[in-house]
Structure 1
């Protein structure tokens, strides 16, 4: 049976929460609300020291449970019990973090876990460092709809130029992941296809993750109360049946200049993913320049973070890769867990 971690990625407002709920509706898979601790824990790993030492695992586990922004409280887990499980587990960064998700899956008596955060599309490489057997599902939605939806979010405070650049990034990172990841590790599907024919798309998706399709996946609204925190009112649509009503609504929600700019700078990417252009007039030069400036600013920020991480990799205090699943143990050269236990090992 499969036990590989599953990560849902994509541009924000592309339907990743709906897909999270569809996966969580499967009898063998649990996908929690966004946790907010995985990437910060990775980039802050040096301050926790060598996680082969129990005291350091405890410090990291306690930060996960008590950190102001980690959202552990939304998982419905016992803090003390998780800390002790992490301390007793394997000594690596991925193992401590993976223990959170494994505990969440156990809460629902499920053997397999996933995680969803749209911005993970930028961090596939570090996710693979922590979970080398991971599978990635990239949900793609018409970029114009993503931009229109981002503009309406109470938490989004950037410009339309940044929103357009965000979708371009998601597509470009997806292309790179498709080229680089081993077979069976990366899968793309379109939001529009998923909402138009959920059963067919979910059957294909289940084939990718190695699970049997379950009809409950087509009715994700039944688990929304459990897997979507009540304060996230912008996810209210997930409490209803899957619908195609929002697909293509960008034509009423975007201003004319935004449509023109999106189609000019995203045109090739939109067409390659099956999205027809409206024939909007050429974008104004000042809008194209503002988009390029926003995109350049985002690239520079990523470049700085990437370079800092390259330096940190030279000075890592301890192991990063998780040793929780059979695939992770095999990649690390360890025997299957049953053999290790019978021999008195970990």
Structure 2
């Protein structure tokens, strides 16, 4: 499968999975599961100067429980093959092609990786994949805060969410500027759910792939079982009301704290601040209360919830299009 990859990235809870699922509803595009193992492999020394020791990488993947979601059988190597060095990009492309076959899309001409952290390593990806394209999806940070705080990972308070969103969005803006407009595009979550046809048509044109009406209605991508709860909206048609749902989820004081900690970054991205320069940050009492609650959640509640969630069988959740589950891989 000689195809071009598209790497979607952005702050968590900004719509990376939704956008990837919409694109993956085209018969010409396959969306692969999130692939954090890319960075883990790079960091553990499996990859050097773009080359990978095949045996070491396969051992690494076999031990990674999340890789089971790819539904790809790893090859068995004879002793002489384990030290063979091959381009890491070729390995990733092979895995994507294998996943495309497993997903029933052997003729796909594009594969989409929607790991949010892609924005942190765009320079490396651009070097490994000269024909690759990049999409940075941005969401109103107040919406991100209202979405991420209830989860068992990431920020636990609005102050933490503000700092997290600022750093991730800034990373994404720098990444897209680094590779340039020809290879990178920016999509706002709010525009995607309010004007999906227009946004997807323009994005497909930028990516060099045909827009398909199925992107608006069908969801061929099956979310991972252990994240099914947090991705339940992915299977539904885009809901314009999601763009302002944070107004009922956050208190006015939450919004003020968020805006105090993010300055005018919201405005730079085309959003409207409620408080602007008059926004007040946490006072000493609020800071102590916020830190105490966050610590309690991090040490107890979040750990228990993560443990229970990760005990779920490794399989894909039903797709919106078919309701069929893939075979269990554990």
TM-score range for the pair, normalised by the shorter chain length: 0.7 to 0.9
User: What secondary structure sits across from 2:161 in the alignment?
Assistant: helix
Cα separation, 2, equivalents of 1:168 and 1:76: 35
Aligned residue in 2 for 1:42 = 42
Quick check: 1:254 aligned with 2:250? yes
Cα separation, 2, equivalents of 1:136 and 1:235: 22
User: What secondary structure sits across from 1:30 in the alignment?
Assistant: strand
**Contact 1:30–1:112 (CA<8 Å) still a contact in 2?**
yes
User: What secondary structure sits across from 1:80 in the alignment?
Assistant: coil
Shift, 1:100, TM fit: 1.2
Q: Map Cα deviations across residues 43-93 of structure 1 (whole Å, 9 max, x no partner).
A: 123x5678868xx313212321x1234x2211222233799xx98997122
Instruction: Return the structure number with greater relative CO, CA threshold 8 A, min gap 6.
Output: 1
**Contact 2:136–2:176 (CA<8 Å) still a contact in 1?**
no
Return 5+ residue gaps in structure 1 as ranges.
295-346
Q: Map Cα deviations across residues 16-61 of structure 1 (whole Å, 9 max, x no partner).
A: 111010111111111122132111111123x5678868xx313212
Return 5+ residue gaps in structure 2 as ranges.
292-330
Query: RMSD of the alignment, in Å?
Result: 3.1
Cα separation, 2, equivalents of 1:79 and 1:185: 31
Structure richer in helix, relative to its length: 1
- How many residue pairs match? The answer is 281
Q: Map Cα deviations across residues 80-124 of structure 1 (whole Å, 9 max, x no partner).
A: 3799xx989971222223321232123321132120111221221
Quick check: 1:184 aligned with 2:156? no
Q: Map Cα deviations across residues 266-292 of structure 1 (whole Å, 9 max, x no partner).
A: 2422112221122375213547x97xx
User: What secondary structure sits across from 1:234 in the alignment?
Assistant: coil
Quick check: 1:12 aligned with 2:12? yes
Cα separation, 1, equivalents of 2:84 and 2:134: 25
Aligned residue in 2 for 1:164 = 162
CA 1:89–1:132: 2 relative to 1, 3 Å: farther
Query: TM-score, normalised on structure 2?
Result: 0.75
Cα separation, 2, equivalents of 1:152 and 1:203: 33
